[in-house]
Structure 1
Amino acid sequence: MNLKEKLIVIKENGYQAPPDTFQLIQEMIHNIGSVDAELRDDLIYTILSHWIPGNSLTANELEQLLPVILDHNHLHFKLGETNTDSVFTRSFSMLVIPLVLERHRESPFLSREQIHQIKEKVFYNVQEERDYRGYDEEKGWAHAIAHAADALDDLAQCSELDNNDLITILHLVYEKMIITDRIYSDGEDERMVRPIISVLNRKILSQTYVEQWIQSFGDVEKNPEFLPAFRQKNNIKNFLKSLYFRVKFYKVDTDLCPTIEHTLYKVEKVYYS
């Protein structure tokens, strides 16, 4: 049987791990960027999401996989390309990281140095990622920005990350929410709010700093061309609205709501004047 056939059998059997789990996972990671959406998403990622948190791999085996996930053939594979198939490798390698961090939170096995290595690799990926596609009708989910948000969310919950790291997360979210290339249309704004809520829950950054960060969305230098400026404005509005209602829903730092409101009014003066 080829890899896809093997994984279909595993799925049909309730995701029970076979005796050669580690060897099979190595093959899965090698194919994590397949343009076959069923293989990449429904099978490889879904099975990993059962096996990694479910202790089908030992801590030692996960430590062996981690450098592979983070390397230039996976998380950083052809980083900076746009509208190419390389995004699937980067994006789905990114999705493995929250699974590893979830396992670590339940039963710590990563050193502080390893957490910081993950952090640096993720931060660099988010900073340099330029493929902003969500769903591709032919090849399925690319969703690099949404998957990056998931990894940032899990990292923000790690006690190993300090004040400066949380500030970097805010900066990275800001940079990805003010893009002019396209209007996010596949829930990226909602996903990017998750790491912000996790940062707020850490109770490390001052409210004044967070307020200033929110206000900075109203001070973005406007692109002189209509379409890029229009796309950027809509991305900012959608993000601020998502942040507003999530803050209210979780009742976390609700004192930020007036700041979000006033920033939104400033961004969209046409409808709020």
Structure 2
Amino acid sequence: MKQQLLDLVKMEKAELQNYMEKHGDTLFPYMLTHLGTIDSELRDQLIYQAFCKLITYDLLREEQLAHAFRLIISDEYLMRGIEDGESDEVFTRSFSTLWLTGLFWIDKQKPFLEQTMRNDALKRCATYLLKERDTRGFVEDKGWAHSIAHGADLAAMIVDHPDIEKRLIPVVLEGITSCFWKGRVYVDDEDERLVAVLMTLVTAEYEEEVLIEWVEQVFDRLEQKTRVDGYDRLFYHARTNSLQFMKTFYFALKKSHRTPNLRNTVAFFVERWQNA
């Protein structure tokens, strides 16, 4: 099967369409079963790349898409081992978020989900960053876990979904805040992927006042931490993550020429905490 996938990712659309008509009912279930394998070549370069080609070329039937969605949104995929900290199950969770990002993208262009399933899935996905505890980026001998970055990609997709309930946006924002406090300093561009969630909201003209309040709360939490526990290691990691995020956010806002009050708020707190 690995050789078939190697061939598949090199195919042009017509050849790929013909291949899927003959072998798709065997190949696609295999891809789903192994989307979180610890074999990085199979997981990342073959299965995920093949999935991207199939959705780009619109070569998956509606029933295949719906089946994949139901499976991936389940505890056995998206939430598998999420309470366990660092384990190999992170690869299943992390790549489930990438697949779901693609499936939601399709659903926005050409809806295939029942409304109840879509609504339930949006609620479930909104809590992912809040629940994820494994913050590793690259894992030696196993490749990219990157669950925070991939979870951010999914979050950016769902906050832009036309059916997202407004009450879920604060849940997503809380999840982003929680990422600053998970005990690790991010070094693999997680800040840029998380900022993309906020910029999606900014572009969609989400209430600027709410985003300003969220920024204030991020730094309020840092202050509260020092009052209760002093300047411990968790505080310094959270401070580094928060500042790195806000600096990236500031320049993204500056480039967008949007929400000047939000941009000024971010600049105020960065300057204040940078010199603290």
Please report the TM-score for the alignment, with normalisation by the length of structure 2.
Answer: 0.90
- How far the C-alpha of 1:211 sits from its partner, in A, is 0.8
- How far the C-alpha of 1:165 sits from its partner, in A, is 1.7
Letter in 1 for 2:210: Y
1:34 matched residue in structure 2: 37
Higher helix share: 2
Task: Specify every segment of 5 or more residues in structure 1 that has no aligned partner in the other structure, as ranges.
Answer: none
1:226 matched residue in structure 2: 232
| Inter-partner Cα distance in structure 2 for 1:45 and 1:203 | 32
- Within 5 Å, which residues of 2 pair with 1:67-82? 67-82=70-85
1:97 to 94, 100, 113: 100
Q: Is residue 243 from structure 1 mapped to residue 244 from structure 2 by the alignment?
A: no
Counterparts in 2 of 1:103 and 1:265: CA distance versus 1, 3 Å: same
- How far the C-alpha of 1:54 sits from its partner, in A, is 2.1
| Inter-partner Cα distance in structure 2 for 1:69 and 1:22 | 17
| Inter-partner Cα distance in structure 2 for 1:26 and 1:107 | 22
1:130 matched residue in structure 2: 133
How many residues get paired? 266
Query: 2:36·2:91 contact (CA, 8 Å) conserved in 1?
Result: yes
Query: 1:53·1:100 contact (CA, 8 Å) conserved in 2?
Result: no
1:211 matched residue in structure 2: 212
Q: Is residue 189 from structure 1 mapped to residue 173 from structure 2 by the alignment?
A: no
- How far the C-alpha of 1:236 sits from its partner, in A, is 0.3
| Inter-partner Cα distance in structure 1 for 2:7 and 2:233 | 48
| Inter-partner Cα distance in structure 2 for 1:265 and 1:7 | 50
Query: 1:133·1:142 contact (CA, 8 Å) conserved in 2?
Result: yes
- How far the C-alpha of 1:153 sits from its partner, in A, is 0.6
Identity of aligned residues (%): 25
2:112 to 109, 113, 126: 109
Higher deviation after alignment, 195-204 or 49-58: 195-204
1:261 matched residue in structure 2: 267
Please report the TM-score for the alignment, with normalisation by the length of structure 1.
Answer: 0.91
- How far the C-alpha of 1:180 sits from its partner, in A, is 4.5
- How far the C-alpha of 1:39 sits from its partner, in A, is 0.4
Counterparts in 2 of 1:254 and 1:137: CA distance versus 1, 3 Å: farther
Higher deviation after alignment, 53-62 or 222-231: 222-231
Query: 1:217·1:263 contact (CA, 8 Å) conserved in 2?
Result: no
| Inter-partner Cα distance in structure 2 for 1:47 and 1:252 | 37
| Inter-partner Cα distance in structure 1 for 2:213 and 2:127 | 24
Q: Is residue 159 from structure 1 mapped to residue 162 from structure 2 by the alignment?
A: yes
- How far the C-alpha of 1:254 sits from its partner, in A, is 3.1
Higher deviation after alignment, 164-173 or 153-162: 164-173
- How far the C-alpha of 1:167 sits from its partner, in A, is 2.1
Task: Specify every segment of 5 or more residues in structure 2 that has no aligned partner in the other structure, as ranges.
Answer: none
Counterparts in 2 of 1:150 and 1:84: CA distance versus 1, 3 Å: same
What is the aligned-residue RMSD (CA, Å)?
Answer: 1.7
